[in-house]
Structures are given as C-alpha cells and as structure tokens.
Amino acid sequence: MSTQTTEIPGYLTGSWQIDPVHTEISFLIRHMMVSKVRGRFDRFEGTIVTAADPEQSSATASIDLTSINTGNDMRDNHIRSADFFDVENHPNMTFVSTAVRPAGDGFELDGELTLRGVTKPVTLALEINGIGPDGYGGTRIGFSASGKIDRTDFGVSYNGPIPGGGSVLSDSVTLTIEVEAVLQP
C-alpha cells in the first residue's frame, strides 16, 4: 500500500542537497566489553530525491573516511589504517538507496553500503522530521535515520582478545544519521 503525500505535512517533491553544516553522521561501538566509543565523520555529501510517491524516493551519500573524528587523534589514525578503513585504498564509504517502505510511524530505507570495497545491503529506520522554509528564501527537509551493521561483513575485522574472555571491539556498529537538506531550484 502506497503512502499518500498528505500523510507527510508540507511534503514536496524535488532534489535536495545535504547541508553538511547541519548534518551529522555518527557511530557507536562497544569497547573493552564495558563502554561505548562514539565517533562521527566530518566530511560527506549526498542527495535526496523526494518523488510524488514517497516510496519511490531515493538517497545517495558519499562519506570521506579520512574525516573520522572520535576525539582522539591516535585512535582516529589507527582507524584510518589498513587495520580498519584502509583509507589509502578506500577513502570513501558510499550509500545508495534501493527502496523506501512504510514502517510503523516512519519508514525503512533499504540500500547498498560500500565500505573497503565491499557492498552489502543495509536497512535504516527513517523518520521525516519536518519540511519548511529557511531564513535564506529556501526550503529544508530533516530526516533521522539509524541502523546497525556488522563491521566484519565489510572486512573491518581488526580486534584483540581481553584476558578472561571477550574482545576489544564489538562486531556490531550502530549508525545514527541526522540530515538537514536544502531543496534545489
């Protein structure tokens, strides 16, 4: 069953460019089995296309993996290395949507995530936060998206054992995306 555009207040069709100043792409991973480490990416770009039928909408994004920021330069440099992202050979992570489906009060966004040259399907829970005018004569749209990936599916398998059992890093990584995008003329 198709979602009617009237169910999304202020819904507009068009092409939207992600505003990097008002967007955050972040992650969370368990560390040492006792805490969580958070990080984000500071450079990325993307486009969202809202179609007359919201289920026909699409999104693409490219994330500069060299821009990882966990608040610790030594850790960030290690994550950029071949042990993790291997940015020398794979400087970007990309996402290309393949479907949008209604789910509860929001949507699910299916897509193909490519990291370290490996492409795998990923589903993100998607919420439309609002659509409205900005202070510059334009129109903005906001989204929240979240999901989990298994980093080892993408060849990011570096880890170490902890004495007494367990490992330094969890395989599961939680992704959180807060997007603000500007409607293009």
Domain positions in the chain: 5-183
Looking at residue 34, its pLDDT comes to 80
Query: What does the block give as tokens for 159?
Result: 């880890």
Looking at residue 171, its pLDDT comes to 85
pLDDT string in tens for the chain (185-residue length): 344 444 788 899 999 999 999 999 999 998 877 889 999 999 999 999 999 999 999 999 999 999 999 999 999 999 999 999 999 999 999 999 999 999 998 999 999 999 999 999 999 999 999 999 999 999 999 999 999 999 999 998 888 777 777 778 888 899 999 999 999 99
Looking at residue 5, its pLDDT comes to 46
User: Residue 104: which residues within 8 A CB-CB, separation 6 or more?
Assistant: none
- The answer to whether domain 5-183 has CATH 2.40.128.110 is yes
Report CA 90 to chain centroid distance, whole Å: 17
Contact 122, 111 (CB under 8 A): yes
Quote the CA–CA distance of 13 and 90 in Å, as a whole number. 34
Handedness of CA 179, 98, 106, 13 (dihedral sign): positive
Instruction: Return the SS3 of 66.
Output: helix
Contact 29, 40 (CB under 8 A): no
Give CA separation, 117 vs 94, 176, 181, in Å: 10, 22, 27
Looking at residue 3, its pLDDT comes to 45
Looking at residue 168, its pLDDT comes to 82
Contact 120, 142 (CB under 8 A): no
Instruction: Give the residue among 13, 10, 16 at the shortest CA–CA distance from 48.
Output: 16
Q: What is the pTM of this model?
A: 0.91
Residue 1 burial by CB count (10 A; 0-12/13-18/19+): exposed, middle or buried? exposed
Q: Which residues pair with 149 in a beta bridge?
A: 173
